[in-house]
Amino acid sequence: MVKWADICLPKDRCGLGILASRRMNVALMLRWVWRITRGDGGLWLRLLEAKYLQGIPLLACSHSVGSRFWKSLQAIKEDIRAGLRFSVHNGSGTQFWLDPWLDGAPLRLYFSSLFAICAAPTILVFEVALADGWHFEFCRSFGPAEVLEWNSLREVVPLPLSPEPDSVSWSLSPSGEFSVSSAYQALCRSPVLLWLSLLWKAPMPLKIKIFVWQLLHDRLPSGTEVLKRHGPGNGLCPLCHVP
């Protein structure tokens, strides 16, 4: 009566909290993406940097040919943006338009008109931050909307940069460190409904809670719902003979 994808959502997101193995596998793989982004590794990380990254941040690297492990990282790396927060210093590890480094959201969302005509969407901060100001390449000249966004952009982005390397933190946990559980929750991509916690904390038997959960989804196996699915019966109540 309820889709399996909905059943596997957390309880505070209208699900039953059953673990989705594919989503959990992605959350576990994102720990490797986090370690590479943070530069937290030994020989294995130096090997990846020499073979694939070559001085480019992982989120900006488009090199998709390589080992199965590398291809898996490339396939899921964008999912980590939901929790990343960058602190820009020298700008060598942060993408100007795509990474969240000002006010917790990517600049492409604040300045969508400029982003739509920029020549290099994946450009790094240090590549456009020159000594005399910000320098970009655009595909065409500015219209009125782009002029307004350009003036606003020049006011909000800071200059100059400092010599220290960029740092990154995880905004979905209080400690700022990556956690698989918070990544798993972020991958659900559905809103949290706080009032549902009242249902699951209520002093009732579990089968009654699940009954109420089905009722909220309008998925109780009543006669009319069974009839919609071409099940047995005529959709009428056997006691009062109404739908």
Q: What average pLDDT does this structure show over 152-165?
A: 83
Q: Is the pLDDT of residue 131 over 80?
A: no
**Which one, of 194, 213, 216, 217, lies nearest residue 204 by Cα?**
213
Pairing label, strands 84-87, 167-170: antiparallel
pLDDT digits (tens, 9 = 90+) for 162-189: 888 899 999 999 999 999 999 999 999 8
The CA–CA distances, whole Å, from 223 to 1, 220, 233 equal 13, 9, 7
Between 161 and 121, the more confident residue is 121
pLDDT digits (tens, 9 = 90+) for 18-48: 999 999 999 999 999 999 999 998 999 999 9
Mean of the per-residue pLDDT values for the chain? 90
pLDDT value at residue 224: 86
Q: What average pLDDT does this structure show over 129-133?
A: 76
The CA–CA distances, whole Å, from 123 to 32, 89, 133, 184, 206 equal 23, 16, 16, 29, 53
Q: What average pLDDT does this structure show over 132-139?
A: 84
What residue spans define the domains of the chain? 1-82+175-193, 84-171, 202-243
pLDDT digits (tens, 9 = 90+) for 184-209: 999 998 888 888 888 999 999 999 99
Q: Report the interhelical angle of 180-188 vs 21-38 (nearest 10°).
A: 120
Amino acid at the residue 229: R
List, in sequence order, the alpha helices (H) in 103-179.
107-110, 112-117, 125-128, 144-156
pLDDT above 70: percentage of residues in the chain? 99
pLDDT value at residue 104: 75
